[in-house]
């Protein structure tokens, strides 16, 4: 499970990345995406994760810019992920293990930047348009061989983030789809504070949460 989740959060290994020139329409859409992302202060709702082997898992998520997020996986997946503004904290209750990495070193860190700008340290690899859908793929400009992140937006009367995908070095992808999304609604800051707990304490919290 930990390896599956790593596919979601980390750009890994040496995936060749060479960006084709963007058209004027592509550049205009990139500007729209930047404006939309910077207008979003909070997101919350449900997520569905599809791993490269077809295994699916789901749960609740909260995102608050800059730098904060939380993913609570539904049982029986024993995983909690918290971004506290500095680190992305991965808790595997089954292994009784907690790992931390700088949130800015992960692809999901793009979504919670204080100022989302898809240039400079990021390079836009491609812009794809279908009916009502806009996809923008980016990679790290300095480390272009570390992977790619694709963000998918509903493109109706206004943009809305609906999915992202991380592509790894072997050409395998992990997809995260969002549903029941609420935008710019109040989110409790305590959700983004991680406190180490024992397995028993976490199990008890989950039981109590289920009773509410």
- Does residue 208 belong to any structural domain of this protein? no
Q: Rounded CA gap, 75 and 96, in Å?
A: 16
This prediction's pTM: 0.82
Name the β-bridge partners of 97: 92
Q: Rounded CA gap, 156 and 10, in Å?
A: 30
Count of domains in the chain? Answer: 1
Looking at residue 4, its pLDDT comes to 42
pLDDT in tens, 73-94: 999 999 999 999 999 999 998 8
CATH number at residue 16: 2.50.20.10
Looking at residue 130, its pLDDT comes to 92
For residue 76, the enclosing domain spans 2-181
Q: Rounded CA gap, 201 and 142, in Å?
A: 42
> Element (H or E) spanning 137, and its range?
strand 133-140
- Does residue 127 belong to any structural domain of this protein? yes
Sheet of 148-155, strands arranged across: 97-102, 87-92, 79-84, 68-73, 56-64, 42-50, 173-183, 159-167, 148-155, 133-140, 122-130
Task: State yes or no: pLDDT of 12 exceeds 50.
Answer: no
Assign 156 a pLDDT band (cuts: 50, 70, 90).
confident
């Amino acid at each position: 499970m930990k390896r599956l989740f790593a596919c979601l959060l980390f750009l890994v290994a040496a995936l060749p990345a060479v960006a084709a020139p963007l058209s004027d329409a592509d550049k205009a859409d990139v500007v729209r995406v930047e404006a939309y992302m910077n207008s979003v202060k909070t997101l919350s709702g449900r997520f569905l994760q599809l791993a490269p082997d077809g295994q699916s898992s789901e749960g609740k998520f909260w995102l608050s810019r800059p730098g904060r997020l939380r993913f609570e996986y539904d049982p029986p997946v024993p995983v909690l992920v918290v971004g506290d503004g500095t680190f992305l904290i991965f808790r595997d209750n089954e292994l009784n293990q907690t790992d931390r990495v700088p949130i800015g070193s992960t692809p999901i860190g793009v979504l919670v930047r204080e100022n989302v700008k898809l240039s400079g340290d990021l390079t836009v690899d491609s812009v794809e348009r279908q009916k009502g859908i806009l996809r923008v793929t980016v990679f790290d400009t300095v480390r272009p061989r570390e992977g790619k992140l694709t963000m998918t937006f509903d493109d109706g009367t206004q943009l809305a983030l609906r999915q992202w995908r991380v592509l790894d070095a072997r050409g395998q992808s992990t997809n995260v789809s969002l549903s029941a999304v609420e935008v710019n609604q109040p989110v409790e800051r305590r959700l983004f504070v991680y406190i180490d707990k024992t397995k028993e304490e976490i199990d008890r919290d989950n039981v109590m949460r289920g009773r509410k």
